[in-house]
Structure 1
Amino acid sequence: MTAAPDLTSAPREDGVDAAVAAARRVIESLLRAGGSSTAEMDRIADQLNSVADHLDEHAPERDQRMVDMWAREDFTRHDPVTGPENAIAPPLHLTARADGSVRGVLTLGLPYQGPPGHVHGGISALLLDHALGVANHRAGLPGMTAELTLRYHRPTPLFEPLTVTARQVAADGRKIRTTGAIEARGEVCVSAEGLFIAKYLPRPR
């Protein structure tokens, strides 16, 4: 069986990816510990600020960094959904399917909690908006989000595998229609319909 093509950057085991993975662990651990923890939070704050100071000292200027982010072919490395260089990204890894859709599986923890034990609705919207956009790229006609309509069928659980899917279903000139869903245990938790506007009309073949 041929592996499904990757549509997002896979994390590496060293360098900035390893540092970002450690930062994700810190975020989760801070939430698990909370304000009533016996951990020495003031000392931890000093250590984390020292790390941030060191990173800032060796970072390029912000404008130069933004140019670098978008100049590279692997620009999905920094976005807030799939980016292995972004500590707030879960990250979601999406692959192309033979039927033209895109699919990814992830498990969300405490940093993404809304109702107790469940994913915040805004996080679901973020995942689906991005997945729909990737599906448009996969179809060869990307665009910017104009409308995103969500239906929340049932609470989306934390700490369990979630399947995110999306597919471009229609294109009329610059208007693109795309759908997607988040499922858990084989049931749809959130479904989405999006209207996207292509920057340019596709060239005739």
Structure 2
Amino acid sequence: MSEKPELVPGETRKLEVLTAIPKNEGVDSAVAATRRVISALLHAGDRTSAEMGAVAAQLNAIADHLDEHNGPVDDRLVDMWSGEGVTRHDPITGAENAIAPPLHLAGREDGSIGGVVTLGLPYQGPPGHVHGGVSAMLLDHVLGVSNAWAGTSGMTARLTLNYHRPTPLFQELEITGRQMKVEGRKIWTEGVISVDGEPCVSAEGLFINKQVPRPR
């Protein structure tokens, strides 16, 4: 493991809230309902006794209603980054994103961050287990938030993953991350997905802080 970074005198962590708390009304409640629909459709498959033609008609009617009342995409792209920003729309923790599990993250006094999440069929790869690409997406996001919590952020330049054992569906996963070292523009960060204390996937990331000038 790399050495833990030392805070520069006067430096403070930039984020106090790492993920948004879902609301029980408006967009958040509609998104939560959509997550139920996605999961139910996957459970149904092509052997269900449900009348899927009627289901499709109802879902298309909902989509038509939303499209009729939606504004321009360019306006939405700007709006998504206002206020709480990425915490409400990103595909890992976003309360406004139906493909997010969602994972809720919290900062810890030791400088790390972490959270727990249980993944179902929408995230399956091998039977009964999480898709490896989903694990990579989870860890990339957690490492990025770890950097924000530590106070020095950057863009992912390299992400190295080690798959220790299959990551199970329908079991509580603990996901942790910690910024390890900062040298100029380069930031090194590590994280792990584990079950019952045993690692399933670990990651080492190199991030580049573009706010710091390139050395000449």
TM bracket (short chain): over 0.9
TM-score (norm 2): 0.90
CA deviations on 1:9-29 (whole Å, 9 max, x unpaired) are: 111111111100000000000
Match of 1:15 among 5, 17, 26: 26
Equivalent position of 2:77 in the other structure: 66
Q: How many angstroms apart in 2 are the aligned matches of 1:71 and 1:24? A: 24
Give the alignment of 1:111-122 within 5 angstroms.
111-122=122-133
Specify the alignment match of 1:170 in structure 2: 181
Structure 2 SS opposite 1:88 = coil
1:195 has 2:195 as partner: no
Counterpart in the other structure of 2:120: 109
**2:155 counterpart residue number:** 144
2:118/2:172 contact within 8 Å kept = yes
Q: Secondary structure at the match of 2:38?
A: helix
**Contact 1:9-1:74 within 8 A present in 2 as well:** no
In structure 2, which of residues 67, 77, 81 is the aligned counterpart of residue 56 of structure 1? 67
* Residue number among 122, 126, 130 corresponding to 2:141 in the alignment: 130
Give the distance between the partners of 1:73 and 1:181, measured in 2 at CA. 26
1:96-141 deviation digits (Å, cap 9, x = unpaired) = 0000001010000000001111100000000000000000000111
Determine if contact 2:135/2:201 at 8 Å carries over to the other structure: yes
CA shift, 1:74, in A, is 3.7
Identity %: 65
The residue matched to 1:71 in structure 2 has which SS?
Answer: coil
Stretches of structure 1 that go unaligned for 5 or more consecutive residues are none
Counterparts of 2:159 and 2:29, CA distance in 1: 34
Provide the C-alpha distance between the structure 2 equivalents of 1:99 and 1:6, rounded to a whole number of angstroms: 16
SS at match of 2:95: coil
Q: Would the aligned equivalents of 2:20 and 2:84 in 1 still touch at CA under 8 Å?
A: no
Structure 1: 4+ residue segments shifted above 2 A: 71-75
The one of 69, 76, 82 equivalent to 2:87 is 76
Name the CA distance, whole Å, in 2 between partners of 1:63 and 1:192: 34
TM-score normalised to structure 1 length:
0.94
1:25 aligns with 2:31: no
CA distance in 2, matches of 1:185, 1:118: 16
Which structure 2 segments of 5+ residues have no match? 1-15
**1:86-105 map, 5 Å:** 86-105=97-116
